[in-house]
Structure 1
Amino acid sequence: MAGGGVPFAAGADQYSIQQTSSLIKTFTERVDDETMLERMRQEINGAECLIYLGFSFGQMNMDLLRIQHGNGPEKEIFGTAYNMSDWNALESRSRIFRSLTVDGKTLTNDVTLKNLTANQLLLDLWYKLSG
């Protein structure tokens, strides 16, 4: 897998967890790394499914995730909006749509945000994502 990650639903062991966790960067660690940002945007562009977990959808975050090329597949989008007001959840959906739009082409038709914890969302989507 590109970047040293593990495939979804792959068995986890101590080595794979340590290996993968070393790839996690904080917001300030990656904001200036243009190579990493471009690679991240390419992965987002090429993905068929995106899941936002515990994500604030702040404009600065969404700008960092904005794809540069709209040539990827249409995406299924899921995310948590735990304890978010209806208005903020609606704006978060709009920000996701904008981050996946290039030259008038949007790479998704729908964004599903649920008032759930990350764990509960993944449990609720387990059959869909593993199947």
Structure 2
Amino acid sequence: MKIKKIGVIYGGKSSEREISLKTGSAIASALKKEKFSVVLIDSGKKDFIKKLLSAKIDFAFIALHGPFGEDGTMQGLLEIFGIPYSGSGVLASALAMNKIYSKKIFESENIPTPKWQIITSVSRLPSTVYRLPVVIKPSKQGSAI
């Protein structure tokens, strides 16, 4: 199948929307330089599905960050519509986005990983003092500081 038209899916509604807009724009520019026909499709807009389907794209380049873009949701939606896309499939995306599942898989396969602990609320912070540096991240978000 020759790819004639690429839809760059970007934006979204997550806390990472702004960086996704930049990512998507950069990807679209690079693809246009390579002479691809490109359409930018913002998944954060009300008419997203309508635009996605009316664009008649041959391939979707997912440029979303965070939930709905990296967690298997967008991948599943594109599969329902029969649109090939960049990146991992639904299950791999869902597992990779969940840091708890990922850590458990790594440990079960004896892949070295730093010590970790699940903390569900501030009131459940352990009394143990950790040596710095420590990393605290939400279990199901993309980029986190």
Q: Which has the larger radius of gyration?
A: 2
Superposition TM-score, scaled by structure 1 size: 0.33
TM-score by length of 2: 0.30
